């Protein structure tokens, strides 16, 4: 990360520097919950769990207690990976769909939630403070309430309009929980949930066991049984997280690390591997460089959509997809013209990402999601548990590697990232949330830092692009118009999207190998904050 800083990367929002501890996420109150745990003697893992739990309260528009989680943890000179995603219930078969496509809402797309087990497993292996202390900040926010931040309020109000228009019976408990009497989502409006607080207390008191084999599991099971759901108490009891070996690709003397499939992080690694054999222009806005990045990303997606699935149920050729030979093959396919990768277009989702670091050099990259906004729309009465709709990501063809099967985890969009130097020295956690924007965001912020010498904040501030399908590419309004026209001249169908939510929301923390000083950046397109001391 030695390239000269380009004038266009300068930002009014400055990076944050600190030595003792740092938490970066999309909601300031959650960042403060994590920082409080660090100040109380907790480590970066404790802070990550505290922040993640708080985010289920202070940013429920993108995650919840009933979602999934992935994490990368740098500790004691080693990078560890946790896949805390859940599988399809035993009763969720193609016959259960009745010949119809998987819906986006209701009970059918609900898979087993893995986030709570993920918190417990992270804490059991690496935690330092008592589990109830770690979750105390989240519990307090839920019980006493908190004022909504602006982006949160906007997304909440949008969900309320959408749900009101759909008027499904299963949304009744969503309205009772997230749109109670006399509450209108607006910046500064105060929301509280006693049910959410009690649920978090039960999770804290039982190290998460209540959610899978106790009273909370009973409540989830009972609600499913009474309202047509397929999720059963036996599905919850059978769920386990999986510790996995992270995968990586090299670029410019650094390695970008991702969780292996069923996550889509491999798409970013394939694109980065393709670009590692090319000399990108020095200007980050050079149309030739952006064109090449977009084309490499398309090929990464084509591979991911063809192969990414639950490796317990399908053969996912990770080693081949990350080989130099495979990347060279793709590299040879690049031309001066845009190509159509002939892969299904990405869809959208809602996710939260956080990064933490402590004085001992432990760092965490954690991502948590309900998938599409609030998820399935199913809320377990009086608990605050909003269940995700991750099953929507199963492939429609049962013969596809990602085809639906009971006990199988779907293709997952959420991906935490982590950078190291080629010699194994850690650089730090990074992530960009937002459905299928995520690998595209990982690629762009990684290049912004490694190729273009941007600090974490500038790397997040820089204008983004997003391939959507076929030849279509969306760009932010801040991308210079001549650059957009030059991309169009190469065959891209360029569209300006004025919605900042479309381009993901990221956080980055890097560590100076010599001094141990942390540098953090937080997404300008969100309410985010780098809390540090």
Q: Mean of the pLDDT values across residues 49-70?
A: 97
**Residues 330 and 279 both lie in one domain:** yes
pTM: 0.95
Whether 399 maps to a domain, the answer reads no
In this prediction, residue 483 carries a pLDDT of 97
Q: Mean of the pLDDT values across residues 285-301?
A: 97
Residue 271 has pLDDT above 80, yes or no: yes
Question: What phi, psi does 45 have (nearest 5°)?
Answer: -70, -45
Strands, E, within 203-263: which ranges? 242-244, 247-251, 254-258
- Coil/strand/helix, residue 427: strand
**Residues 60 and 131 both lie in one domain:** yes
**Count of the separate structural domains present in the chain:** 2
For residue 347, give the nearest of 106, 44, 102, 43 by alpha carbon.
102
Residue 1 has pLDDT above 50, yes or no: no
The model's confidence at residue 343, banded by pLDDT at 50, 70 and 90, is: confident
Question: Within 10 A of 533 (CB to CB), how many other CB atoms are there?
Answer: 12
CB 163 within 8 A of CB 377: yes
Whether 224 maps to a domain, the answer reads yes
Question: Within 10 A of 126 (CB to CB), how many other CB atoms are there?
Answer: 21
Whether 12 maps to a domain, the answer reads no
**Residues 172 and 219 both lie in one domain:** yes
**Residues 365 and 457 both lie in one domain:** no
Residue 6 has pLDDT above 80, yes or no: no
**Residues 475 and 523 both lie in one domain:** yes
Whether 110 maps to a domain, the answer reads yes
316-335 pLDDT tens trace: 999 999 999 999 999 999 99
Distance (Å) of CA 479 to CA 89, 271, 456, 473, 486? 44, 21, 19, 12, 12
Q: Mean of the pLDDT values across residues 355-376?
A: 96
176-196 pLDDT tens trace: 999 999 999 999 999 999 999
CB 388 within 8 A of CB 64: yes
**Residues 376 and 270 both lie in one domain:** no
How many Å apart are CA 16 and CA 532, to the nearest integer? 8
DSSP per-residue codes, 30-55 = HHHHHHHHHHTT--HHHHHHHHHHHH
Kindly report the CATH number assigned to the domain that includes residue 447: 3.60.20.40
Whether 13 maps to a domain, the answer reads no
How many Å apart are CA 278 and CA 299, to the nearest integer? 15
CB 431 within 8 A of CB 421: no
**Residues 328 and 442 both lie in one domain:** yes
**Residues 198 and 51 both lie in one domain:** yes
In this prediction, residue 11 carries a pLDDT of 57
Whether 73 maps to a domain, the answer reads yes
How many Å apart are CA 469 and CA 235, to the nearest integer? 35
Q: Which residues belong to the active site?
A: 351
Q: Mean of the pLDDT values across residues 4-21?
A: 71
**Residues 70 and 132 both lie in one domain:** yes
**Residues 446 and 509 both lie in one domain:** yes
Whether 104 maps to a domain, the answer reads yes
Whether 409 maps to a domain, the answer reads no
CB 204 within 8 A of CB 135: yes
151-161 pLDDT tens trace: 999 999 999 99
The residues with which 25 forms a beta bridge, in sequence order, are: 354, 529
367-381 pLDDT tens trace: 999 999 899 999 999
In this prediction, residue 233 carries a pLDDT of 98
Domain that holds residue 498: 246-349+421-532
Out of 79-83, 203-207, 342-346, 489-493, least confident range: 342-346
Q: Mean of the pLDDT values across residues 271-286?
A: 96
How many Å apart are CA 415 and CA 438, to the nearest integer? 7
**Residues 193 and 282 both lie in one domain:** no
**H/E run at residue 506:** strand 505-511
- Coil/strand/helix, residue 379: strand
226-267 pLDDT tens trace: 999 999 999 999 999 999 999 999 999 999 999 999 999 999
**Residues 156 and 235 both lie in one domain:** yes
């Amino acid at each position: 990360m030695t390239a000269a800083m380009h004038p266009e990367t300068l930002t009014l929002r400055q990076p944050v520097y600190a030595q003792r501890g740092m938490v970066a996420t999309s909601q300031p109150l959650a960042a403060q919950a994590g920082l409080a745990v660090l100040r109380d003697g907790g480590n970066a893992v404790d802070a990550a769990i505290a922040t993640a739990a708080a985010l289920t309260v202070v940013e429920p528009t993108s995650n919840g207690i009933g979602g999934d989680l992935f994490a990368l943890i740098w500790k004691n000179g080693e990078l560890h990976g946790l896949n805390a995603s859940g599988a399809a219930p035993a009763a969720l078969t193609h016959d259960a769909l009745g010949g119809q496509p998987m819906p986006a809402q209701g009970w059918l797309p609900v898979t087993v939630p893995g986030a709570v087990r993920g918190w417990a497993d992270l804490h059991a292996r690496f935690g330092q403070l008592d589990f109830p202390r770690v979750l105390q900040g989240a519990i307090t926010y839920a019980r006493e309430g908190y004022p909504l931040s602006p982006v949160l309020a906007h997304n909440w109000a949008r969900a309320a309009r959408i749900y009101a228009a759909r008027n499904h019976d299963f949304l009744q408990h969503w309205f009772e929980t997230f749109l109670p009497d006399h509450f209108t989502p607006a910046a500064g409006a105060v929301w509280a949930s006693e049910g959410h607080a009690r649920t978090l207390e039960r999770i804290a008191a039982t190290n998460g066991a209540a959610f899978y084999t106790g009273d909370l599991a009973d409540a989830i099971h009972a609600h499913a049984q009474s309202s047509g759901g397929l999720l059963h108490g036996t599905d919850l009891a059978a769920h386990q997280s999986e510790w996995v070996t992270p995968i990586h690709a090299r670029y410019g003397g650094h390695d970008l690390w991702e969780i292996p499939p069923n996550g889509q992080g491999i798409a970013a690694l394939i694109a980065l591997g393709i670009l590692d054999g090319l000399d990108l222009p020095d200007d980050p806005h050079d149309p030739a460089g952006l064109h090449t990045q977009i084309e490499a990303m398309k090929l990464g997606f084509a591979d991911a959509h063809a192969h990414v699935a639950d490796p317990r149920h399908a053969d996912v050729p990770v080693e081949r997809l990350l080989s130099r030979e495979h990347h060279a093959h793709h590299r040879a396919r690049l031309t001066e013209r845009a190509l159509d990768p002939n892969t299904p277009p990405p869809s959208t989702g809602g996710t939260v990402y956080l990064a933490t670091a402590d004085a001992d050099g432990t760092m965490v990259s954690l991502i948590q999601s309900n998938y599409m906004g609030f998820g399935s729309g199913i809320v377990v009465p009086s608990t605050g548990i909003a269940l995700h709709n991750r099953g929507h990501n199963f492939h429609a063809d049962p013969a596809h590697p990602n085809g639906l099967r009971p006990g199988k985890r779907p293709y997952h969009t959420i991906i935490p990232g982590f950078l190291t130097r080629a010699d194994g020295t850690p650089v730090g956690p990074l992530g960009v949330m937002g459905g299928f924007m995520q690998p595209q965001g990982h690629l762009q912020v990684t290049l912004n830092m490694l190729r273009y010498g941007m600090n974490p904040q500038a790397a997040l501030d820089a204008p983004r692009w997003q391939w959507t399908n076929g030849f279509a590419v969306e760009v932010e309004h801040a991308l210079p118009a001549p650059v957009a026209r030059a991309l169009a001249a190469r065959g891209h169908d360029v569209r300006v999207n004025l919605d900042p939510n479309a381009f993901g929301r990221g956080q980055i923390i890097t560590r100076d190998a010599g001094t141990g000083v942390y540098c953090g950046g937080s997404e300008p397109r969100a309410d985010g904050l780098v809390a540090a001391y």
